[in-house]
Amino acid sequence: MQSRIPIPTDNIFKFYALFGLLILLTTGIMFFMRHEQYNTMAFERYIPTETLRAKKSLTEDEALKLFILEEKSKIAKSNKDFELGLYLFCFFLFGGGFTIYGFYHWHTKIQPKQDRLLDLQIEKYETEAKALNKQLHRTRYTRR
């Protein structure tokens, strides 16, 4: 099965650069999705927690429920700090490094060679076109 999206494998630096951009994009999307998910979970726990805290005396079940809600909040905050603060940030740095490395080497090593090759091809074709024009010009005048 052939992929419909062509992957740039003509040089490794282009692949690094585009792969790094993909990681950056994915990390950015994941950050906002996970941040929204943590906010939703926090909002869902807020009203029941504050309702239980506002009561003067709690039954044993209510005290247990308040304890569980508060522990869930602590765990969610810890997970959020780790996942959004460290985990996704590391992937973001990795993707940024890959992108910078790939684009830098592509621009400084590969692209000048491709530009030089293109210039040489243009020069070759211009020389061939001049030679062909001279030959056509000579054959026109020699036939008359």
pLDDT by residue, tens only, the chain of 144 residues: 566 666 656 788 888 899 999 999 999 898 888 888 888 888 888 888 888 888 888 888 888 888 998 998 898 888 888 887 788 888 889 999 999 999 999 889 988 888 899 999 999 999 999 998 888 877 766 655
Distance CA 64, CA 55 (A): 14
| The pLDDT value given to residue 121 | 95
Which stretch of DSSP H or E encloses residue 129?
helix 111-143
The pTM for the full model equals: 0.64
Closest to 84 in 3D by CA, of 39, 131, 132, 140: 39
